[in-house]
Chain A
Amino acid sequence: MISNVLHIDLSNKRFWIEERSDLFKEWLGGIGAGIRLLHEDCPKNIDPLSPENPIIFCIGPFNGIYPLASKTVAVFKSPLTKNLGESHAGGRCGVAMRMAGYGGIVIKGASEKPIYLVINEDGVKFRDASALWGMNSSSTVGRIIREREAGAGVRAIMRIGRAGEKLIPYACVITETFRHFGRLGLGAVFGSKKLKAILIHGRSSIRLSDPRLYRNTYDEIFNAVIKSGAMKKYHDIGTSLNVLPLNISSSLPSRNLQAAKFEGAELLSGENLAEKFLGRRAACAHCPVSCIHIAALRIPYENEPYFYKTKMIAYDYEPIYSLGCMLGIRNPEGFLKLVDIVDELGLDAISTGVILAWATECMERGIIETKDADNLVLKWGDYETYIKAIKKIVNLENEFYEALANGVEHASSLYGGREFALAYGGNEMPGYHCGLATHIGFAVGMRHSHLDNAGYDLDQKINAEKKFISIEEIAKALFEEESWRQILSSLVVCFFSRKVYTPEMISRCFSAMGIKVEPSELKIKGMKILKEKYKFKIREGFSFDNVRIPKRVLEIPTPQGLLREEDIRRGISEYKKLIEAEL
């Protein structure tokens, strides 16, 4: 069982290891352990960009042991929402942490000079990163560290781009070039600590109490995944398989949700991108699915005939929504170039797209003028101008770009256009307009993310079966789903494997490790973890009663027709009753 927590004090360049089997026993790991550590280590009401804000990485008991347990959970106070920050990433960090022997890593303080960390079984090395600070390309930073450090094949390299250095509150942390701790601004927290990158590597072998049961259980999971339709779906086309069905059902927000259909959907579809651009697939460590789709974009040099560079750019559904459909981009090359600049600078793709979409609509309506935007004319589909605007955001070029750099909630509080500023709880809205459960889900989810409780998934089922389900039932389903997802994010297994990791399967996995966990107790534990998150949200000033529902959401029909604010509000208050009820 994992039990070690590595503490790193950046101010004094010290580290120590704490044995915390209590934590992992009670709270499993991942988000369960992470949220407890956040309660312990994050003082009340601190500035998220102050040295006191801890960066917490946690993995769970299954990482490195069972397949598809390939994720790492980051917990921190979000500079974007000034509340709970939680972000998950795949790549190799989950397995690397486990192989280096750590269940959790807690980073506090701040360095005076830029640094990067090298973490392995022996602890932490503090390396000067002054020469890496200010680099335009986050992938170059990865390349340099890769050349310089050990652990090829068994390491993760997390890093920030210039957006993180500039403390943009929706800056992300990139790991293994193509995966992200995307949402809620972990990159800015790195930047505030002058922490440019973290390399983690290790090799270990873990004895299990029942090797035969272990091998059998492993095979059962592996085979179930390989044979499942989900595996094929995520491997062949990837998450971008969702573009066409969402478009057909009028659930795909486009042009700042002025419509829920996009005429360029075909061009940005996973099918078209795979056919025209797919250059490679890659997998997270210990996951055979390999859902990572990387496009090869051949770009000619302007002034040199017959000379090209080929950029490898990973795409997924969410960036297609935010940097494609929301900005009216119909040109796949243009879309890929937008993804590329966002990645190189280290911004969250969803937030960036939603903010630019809002800005474009503001310009259309004359709320913002060309001179505010440093003479850029933001127009749907004009990716070249959007690329310029993204650079200006990261450079904090003027008052307007500084406003954009602080998120759509903030920008719309200064300039107006609030009714079409698409954010919930201060976090820019994900790409689903499937119905009532979707939007209740965004409003109540502890991260205001579509992955919190998958309301969009519930809506899709409701819409397909054309059945009626009451608001009380929706709230209950979202609460139960969000509770259960706390277990998955504590183990930490990928949500793609949620149909395989049933309570009974999880219990069997634990048995092979010599740990007795009843399937029934998992459900309760999930709720307990969710409540711990809610407690933190409340502590930091969140209230369900004040969640802003963007008017735009009510103006554009979903497959269930127009939504009514009072229905969303009722859903929120039903959910509130459930989460506030005694266990």
Chain B
Amino acid sequence: MAKRIAVVDVDLCVGCQSCMFACNRRFGEAGIARTAIFVQSAGGFERGFIVKVCRACKDPPCAKVCPTKAIMERVGGGVRLDYKKCIACGNCILSCPIGAIFWDEIIKKPTVCTYCGYCVNYCPYGVIRLEELK
């Protein structure tokens, strides 16, 4: 079954960004330049936080605008990104209305959630969880 990272309750988020660092650690690297999940304040800490991550939509706009078919629809929802085909045009980033496709500063190509769930292990407050797509 296809899975996705669900944002359960964004108001539980404290903005520690541990999920972002975790995503980057998938490559064995420290930092945040390669993360596919992003946390930022909703206009200052006092207003709380926003968590941006691919919600694995059923009819993904990013796949529609990819000129090389590098972004392909995944069975059950969401996408898969084939870096060999990707020409780094950035159309997918512009097309995602929730801003859940990011730029990998190291390989200079877009990056999107692979639904692996690694980040979830580092959220102590239950903001995000790995769930089966219905």
Q: In this assembly, does B97 line the interface, its C-beta being within 8 Å of a C-beta of chain A?
A: no
Q: Which of B14, B34, B40 contacts A152 (CB 8 A)?
A: B40
Complex Cα spacing A1 to B29, Å? 13
The answer to whether B27 touches A205, judged by C-beta atoms less than 8 angstroms apart, is yes
Q: In this assembly, does B9 line the interface, its C-beta being within 8 Å of a C-beta of chain A?
A: no
Encoded as 1 (CB less than 8 Å from any B CB) or 0, chain A from 172 to 190 comes to: 0000111000000000000
Complex Cα spacing A146 to B42, Å? 11
CB distance from A178 to the nearest CB of B (A): 6
Q: Which of B16, B25, B31, B34 contacts A284 (CB 8 A)?
A: B16
List, in ascending order, chain A residues with CB within 8 A of B44's CB. Answer: 139, 142-143, 146, 177
CB distance from A506 to the nearest CB of B (A): 16
Q: Which of B24, B34, B45, B105 contacts A282 (CB 8 A)?
A: B45
Give the number of chain B interface residues (Cβ < 8 Å).
Answer: 30
Complex Cα spacing A344 to B43, Å? 18
CB distance from A477 to the nearest CB of B (A): 33
CB distance from B124 to the nearest CB of A (A): 5
B: which residues have CB within 8 A of A?
14-18, 21, 24-25, 27-34, 38-41, 43-46, 48, 105-106, 122, 124-125
A282-B15, A288-B16, A290-B16 are known contacts. Are A205 and B106 too (CB-CB below 8 A)? yes
Complex Cα spacing A286 to B20, Å? 9
Complex Cα spacing A451 to B73, Å? 55
The answer to whether B31 touches A205, judged by C-beta atoms less than 8 angstroms apart, is yes
Q: Which of A139, A146, A178, A206 contacts B29 (CB 8 A)?
A: A206
A to B CB contacts below 8 Å, 26 in the list: A67-B18, A95-B17, A142-B44, A152-B40, A153-B39, A178-B45, A203-B105, A204-B31, A204-B33, A205-B24, A205-B31, A212-B28, A222-B18, A281-B14, A282-B14, A282-B15, A286-B16, A286-B17, A286-B18, A286-B21, A288-B14, A289-B16, A290-B14, A294-B45, A294-B46, A312-B46
Q: In this assembly, does A114 line the interface, its C-beta being within 8 Å of a C-beta of chain B?
A: no
The answer to whether B14 touches A214, judged by C-beta atoms less than 8 angstroms apart, is no
CB distance from B10 to the nearest CB of A (A): 12
The answer to whether A208 touches B30, judged by C-beta atoms less than 8 angstroms apart, is yes
User: In the complex, which residue of chain B has the Cβ closest to the Cβ of A285?
Assistant: B17
A177-B44, A205-B105, A282-B45 are known contacts. Are A153 and B38 too (CB-CB below 8 A)? yes
CB distance from B47 to the nearest CB of A (A): 8
How many pairs of A and B residues are in contact by the CB < 8 Å rule? 106
Complex Cα spacing A153 to B51, Å? 10
List, in ascending order, chain B residues with CB within 8 A of A207's CB. Answer: 28-29
A64-B30, A177-B45, A204-B31 are known contacts. Are A287 and B39 too (CB-CB below 8 A)? no
User: In the complex, which residue of chain A has the Cβ closest to the Cβ of B45?
Assistant: A282
User: In the complex, which residue of chain A has the Cβ closest to the Cβ of B39?
Assistant: A153
CB distance from B20 to the nearest CB of A (A): 8
The answer to whether A208 touches B28, judged by C-beta atoms less than 8 angstroms apart, is yes
Complex Cα spacing A281 to B17, Å? 14
Q: In this assembly, does A475 line the interface, its C-beta being within 8 Å of a C-beta of chain B?
A: no
Complex Cα spacing A543 to B31, Å? 43
List, in ascending order, chain B residues with CB within 8 A of A282's CB. Answer: 14-15, 45
Complex Cα spacing A98 to B31, Å? 9
List, in ascending order, chain A residues with CB within 8 A of B39's CB. Answer: 153
List, in ascending order, chain A residues with CB within 8 A of B105's CB. Answer: 203-205
Q: Which of B14, B46, B122 contacts A177 (CB 8 A)?
A: B46
List, in ascending order, chain B residues with CB within 8 A of A143's CB. Answer: 43-44
The answer to whether B18 touches A211, judged by C-beta atoms less than 8 angstroms apart, is no
List, in ascending order, chain A residues with CB within 8 A of B14's CB. Answer: 281-283, 288, 290, 292
User: In the complex, which residue of chain B has the Cβ closest to the Cβ of A63?
Assistant: B30
List, in ascending order, chain B residues with CB within 8 A of A288's CB. Answer: 14, 16, 18, 122, 124
List, in ascending order, chain B residues with CB within 8 A of A312's CB. Answer: 46
A283-B15, A284-B16 are known contacts. Are A206 and B30 too (CB-CB below 8 A)? yes
CB distance from B121 to the nearest CB of A (A): 9
The answer to whether A176 touches B45, judged by C-beta atoms less than 8 angstroms apart, is yes
Complex Cα spacing A283 to B30, Å? 19
Which residues 44-77 in A have Cβ within 8 Å of B in the complex?
64-67
List, in ascending order, chain B residues with CB within 8 A of A284's CB. Answer: 16
List, in ascending order, chain B residues with CB within 8 A of A146's CB. Answer: 43-44
User: In the complex, which residue of chain A has the Cβ closest to the Cβ of B52?
Assistant: A153
List, in ascending order, chain B residues with CB within 8 A of A280's CB. Answer: 45-46, 48
Q: Which of A142, A153, A177, A203 contacts B40 (CB 8 A)?
A: A153
Complex Cα spacing A152 to B38, Å? 10
The answer to whether B29 touches A211, judged by C-beta atoms less than 8 angstroms apart, is yes
User: In the complex, which residue of chain A has the Cβ closest to the Cβ of B106?
Assistant: A205
Complex Cα spacing A72 to B74, Å? 43
CB distance from A339 to the nearest CB of B (A): 14
Given known contacts A143-B44, A204-B32, A283-B16, what 5 new A-B pairs fall within 8 Å (CB)? A177-B45, A226-B124, A281-B14, A290-B16, A292-B45
Which residues 85-111 in A have Cβ within 8 Å of B in the complex?
95, 98-99
List, in ascending order, chain A residues with CB within 8 A of B38's CB. Answer: 153
Complex Cα spacing A288 to B21, Å? 11
User: In the complex, which residue of chain B has the Cβ closest to the Cβ of A139?
Assistant: B44
Q: Which of B15, B25, B38, B43 has the most CB of A within 10 A?
A: B15
The answer to whether B32 touches A99, judged by C-beta atoms less than 8 angstroms apart, is yes
CB distance from A271 to the nearest CB of B (A): 20
User: In the complex, which residue of chain A has the Cβ closest to the Cβ of B24?
Assistant: A205
User: In the complex, which residue of chain A has the Cβ closest to the Cβ of B40?
Assistant: A153
List, in ascending order, chain B residues with CB within 8 A of A289's CB. Answer: 16
Complex Cα spacing A288 to B19, Å? 10
Which residues 181-227 in A have Cβ within 8 Å of B in the complex?
203-208, 211-212, 214-215, 218, 222, 226
List, in ascending order, chain B residues with CB within 8 A of A226's CB. Answer: 124
Which residues 281-308 in A have Cβ within 8 Å of B in the complex?
281-290, 292, 294
User: In the complex, which residue of chain B has the Cβ closest to the Cβ of A70?
Assistant: B16
Q: In this assembly, does A129 line the interface, its C-beta being within 8 Å of a C-beta of chain B?
A: no
User: In the complex, which residue of chain A has the Cβ closest to the Cβ of B12?
Assistant: A281
The answer to whether B28 touches A215, judged by C-beta atoms less than 8 angstroms apart, is yes
Complex Cα spacing A378 to B28, Å? 59
CB distance from A442 to the nearest CB of B (A): 31
Encoded as 1 (CB less than 8 Å from any B CB) or 0, chain A from 212 to 245 comes to: 1011001000100010000000000000000000
Complex Cα spacing A218 to B44, Å? 29
Which residues 441-492 in A have Cβ within 8 Å of B in the complex?
none
Q: In this assembly, does A154 line the interface, its C-beta being within 8 Å of a C-beta of chain B?
A: yes
CB distance from A583 to the nearest CB of B (A): 33
The answer to whether B16 touches A203, judged by C-beta atoms less than 8 angstroms apart, is no
Complex Cα spacing A282 to B25, Å? 23
Complex Cα spacing A215 to B24, Å? 11
The answer to whether A205 touches B40, judged by C-beta atoms less than 8 angstroms apart, is no
Encoded as 1 (CB less than 8 Å from any B CB) or 0, chain A from 266 to 282 comes to: 00000000000000111
